[in-house]
Amino acid sequence: MGNAGLCKEAGSQVAMFDRINPIFRSQIVAEQIIHKIRDARINIGDKLAPEREMAKSMDVSRNTLREAIAMLQMAGVLEVKRSNGIFVASLPDKDDVKQWLIDAEFGRLTDSQTAIGARIAMEPGVAIMAARTATDEDWHKLDSYIEAMRAAVETGDIEAYRSSDNDMHKAIALATRNETIISVLLPVIDTARQPLWSAIKRDIYNAGVLRSSFEEHRQIVEAMRSGDEYFIFRAMVRHLECSKSRLEIEIEIDVDADA
């Protein structure tokens, strides 16, 4: 009798279970923000508390909160105005938003800090190897990506810049001609194309960030051409560490701190 709920009959196949989707902390935070907006009767156009305050009150990292905010941007609930703050854009039903978050399957995504940590561990050595094996065609591709990034900086085209940035890193991995490196590293690099990452970076990228990032990439290629392994290693590590730090850039200016 005790097994009757699991098996139809002796020897029969156990019934399939429903799939359980993993839930990121950021998804839980996003749902809590929705509850707060509804319960506090916040209106469209109202400004939310600064990131730092929200993260502290929920006892989560700024990175986790920023992912939650990006999720709600994509759902059309929040609007982020760089250097100004986070505003309510719509007041949807909380159950509808929860279902949207589930359907979007954010639990399948790799969080930004985890991906960058993996890249810091791998890409400096990969760049050193690529400098040894790169062909004329590889150098031409790297130069073309650098020029495309330069043009994007001049026009302020964030999406074009990020596309060339991503392509340049993949080109370095491909230049190693090492199938194991390519198969492992390319999917990690491509996490930067995730819609959630794109939303986060749109909030923090400005002209100054683009110029700094471009200079870092230019120095990587310059170091690779020199063949000096120390300079290659340092140039790549510096860029990836700076990328990691940029994810913590303030969305809004802290007026009180400047006073």
pLDDT the model gives residue 12: 53
Ramachandran angles phi, psi of 208, nearest 5°: -65, -40
Helix (H/G/I), strand (E/B), else coil: 47: strand
**Is residue 134 scored above 80 in pLDDT?**
yes
Q: Answer yes or no: is pLDDT of 27 > 70.
A: yes
Write down the H helix ranges in 81-206: 94-104, 112-133, 136-155, 158-174, 179-189, 195-204
Q: Where are the domains of the chain?
A: 25-108, 112-246
What's the topology of domain 112-246? Answer: Four Helix Bundle (Hemerythrin (Met), subunit A) (1.20.120)
Task: Return the SS3 of 78.
Answer: strand
Q: How far apart are CA 240 and CA 246, in angstroms?
A: 10
CA distance 209 to 21: 36
pLDDT of residue 255: 40
Most confident by average pLDDT, 34-43, 86-95, 181-190? 181-190
Mean pLDDT, range 126-155, rounded to an integer: 98
Q: What's the average model confidence in pLDDT over 198-212?
A: 80
pLDDT score for 18 = 57
| Local confidence band at 211 (pLDDT 50, 70, 90 cut-offs) | very high
pLDDT of 253 strictly over 60: no
pLDDT surpassing 90 at residue 103: no
User: pTM for the complete prediction?
Assistant: 0.70
pLDDT computed for residue 133 by the predictor: 98
pLDDT in tens, 30-47: 888 988 888 888 889 999
pLDDT at residue 115, rounded to an integer: 84
CATH number at 25-108: 1.10.10.10
User: How far, CA to CA in Å, does 170 sit from each of 7, 98, 146, 190?
Assistant: 50, 35, 13, 8
For residue 218, what pLDDT is reported?
A: 98
Percent of the chain with pLDDT over 90: 44
